[in-house]
Structure 1
Amino acid sequence: MILRADLNGGQITEFKQEATRRYIVHLLKSAADNDHTMAQFHLAECHLNGSKVDRSHTKALNLYRKLASRGISQAQVALGQRYEAGEGVDRDFDTAIEWYTKAADQGSEDGRHHIMFLRGWASFIGHSVEQSDIGALSYWQEVSTKSTNPVLKSIATHMVGWMHYLGRGTQQDELKGVKIIRENESHGFKLGEDQCLGSNWNSVSSDSHAAHKFFELCQLGSDKIWLCKHLMAVCLVNGFGTAQDQKRAANAFQQLASEGHAASQFWLGGCYYNHWGVSQDYRQAFEWYNKSAEQDNSYGQWMVGLCYSGGAGVLKDDNKAAEWFRRSAEQGNRCGQNALGRCYKDGKGVAEDIETAAFWYCKAADQGHLYAVKALKELV
């Protein structure tokens, strides 16, 4: 390879890395042509992702199918994934499960967990089986606790959190659900408490595989299950696993909010508050936050308090702000606890009381609320 004299060290390194990648693909092709099993498997991945070869679902599928028919469990799982996602073939959960089962029969835990994961979604949305929250939760819990697949594990864990939060398939435990969703947040799956349940002020766009898979599954069940439609709209607001479309999201929240779903009422309030897909309208935001709050949604209660505190869409009233913050805080909401702590610190709506302020700040800080942690340090 001839390098121009004016190239700097970084460009030279980049050229070397590119040459290395191309050489590796060349070796893969040579080994695959000589019927090397794992070379064919990795070459299929290259075709699937368009990595230094033409992106081709057809070529990838042909290689996966050839290897799967020879009993290679990794290829059986990969082929099942293509049917599950509808990549290069018509989406077919039954055929996906057939290939996952073949892999599981050979001892593949990944294959077995793919089956559990898919059966969880099928049970939840009633796809080819009777709808069952209990069944869905059971399948997802197994994937959440036992799978090492980061995509399956993160999505299943997130849904386990929602099931506890809403009391679907299990006794309702909002704090447990919130904790699960909060602790499940990761670089590969960015929908944590603040992004999916709480403040929702900062977008969490993501192009990760987990994000795309989550959006597709939520969209699949959006015509049957309100939570799927709600989560699909959350993804659309953020551009999480899909192109951002806040107008479409606001329309979905509007429908669900009108049906009385407190979580969607809270998010519709957020759309009006933040100018997401609708004209900014603090009065409308307050009305929807209030509807959510009246159904004991602790995030709605916190936002009603903030609206009273700042006079957003309603007359400013520190006393009412403190009342709503208290209702939220007493439900264990860390945002409400932090806000109530600030009320006691500043003497707004309540008598100034540093000890009580510290009490509520501690409650919020114990749940990882960063502003509460900072406020506590300032009190010392």
Structure 2
Amino acid sequence: MTVTNKSENEKYDEDFLKKFSRDFCRKIIELIDTTNLNILENILKKWIDNIDKNTENILESMQKHKENELLFSSIIGFFYQHGIGCIIDKNKALELYLISVNNNNIIIKINENFKESFIKLNIINEFEISSQNINVIIGKFLLSLFYYKDIILDERNFNNYLSSARKGDLVAQYNLGKYYYSGKEITQDYNKAFLWFSKSANDGYVKSQLSLGKCYYFGRGTEQDYKKAIEWYSKSAINEYAKGQYNLGLCYDSGIGTDKDKVKAFEWYSKSASNGYAKGQNELGRCYEFGKGVEKDFNKAFEWYSKSANNECAKAQNNLGDCYYYGKGVMQDYKMAFEWFSKSADNGCAEGQDSLGYCYKHSKGVEKNYEKAFIWHSKSARNGYGKGQNNLGDCYYYGRGIAQDYEKALKWYSKSADNGYAKGQNNLGYCYKHGKGVTKDYSKAFEWYYKSAINECAKGQYHLGYCYHYGIGTSINIEEAIIWYKKASKCGIVRASEELKKIQFIE
């Protein structure tokens, strides 16, 4: 019976992968005549992210396929080029594209109509074509696009900017600085970026003033100097550039390059928000929600989150979802929360992806679906969000939406803990204490419980108290046990209260 199930699963994976390959090719055909080449890849990425399957699992299935080089190397290359289900590796992507074309003499010419090229390869109306040929065709397209964007299109733009910049065009100087700064289209050179930003900024171009501030802030092309960063952010902000106002607000908010001043941060966020900058609107909403530099006002928080969310700020869409979820500044509405979490998640916000997974896991605004919860927690986790990494660890630990796997649970709890997420630190401590996915190690359990406890996780405080109470990974210390039990008890951890009673009874 087990063998049959395995065979059925393999057949299912085979069918899915072949359909996925053909659908990927169809999507390219759909886009090539209607979409700017500079955003075509982003649309393909978004299409893959919206597939109702975990991208990490899709990649793994393609890689494990016995004929992966013949059938799927081109798409695997696309995954590596854009970090879909993996870490970005453009060298590996190029290698896979070259494998897929397999020394075939057919080259798709970038300067002719793409769809005509595909028609020449008899693919438009003939999807009986073999998966191997589809792989070759996709590989040739992606390889051509890979070279086209990085060499032809951007070299042409670069040369135009260089010519204009030398003639004193402030905008061209700024764009030239961007090319050198990003290193996306040419060899990255922060020194040259700094030079061109400086020329344009000193002549009053606000975007360059902001970019020059960033150079000083991060120490790129010059020595790191937060005060000079503030100076250039201020010039950009005073010249009414909304992004400069937002960045200046961030400096006052965090106290970098200046004294921390929540009131001034609020003032600059307000100016940025009023000038229509979505990120400024989101931060202004946070000021009102948490009372940063202004009195708490959930109604105004909701108002600014709404403006930012409708201006496509993914973090604001998540924050607006929170407003609906908890009833802050608006009537509680799980369906509306789910809707905004979905928009945030689709726009790549790790927080929104985790929130969406939570909705699926707990049936908030949508039917419970552990498989979809797993998919969205996975996306959030791979995007580096500590809470999402912890929740993905939970999926593996309890076998929700995926087969139970303590080692993978440990892996994601570890990532969450390293990111400073208190619940992840507690769960990692639990794994070490009980030998889940790792050899028991009471010293490490104590270490992670301690980090969790000082980061205000109630369960971590309880477990730390328990370690001190019974000498787990540390020496018995009843006074410390009482301190941490009390903290956990105040946060509603019943077991902490019970352990306190035991101590009091003994005394």
Please, what TM-score do these two structures have when normalized by structure 2? 0.37
Q: Whose Rg is larger?
A: 2
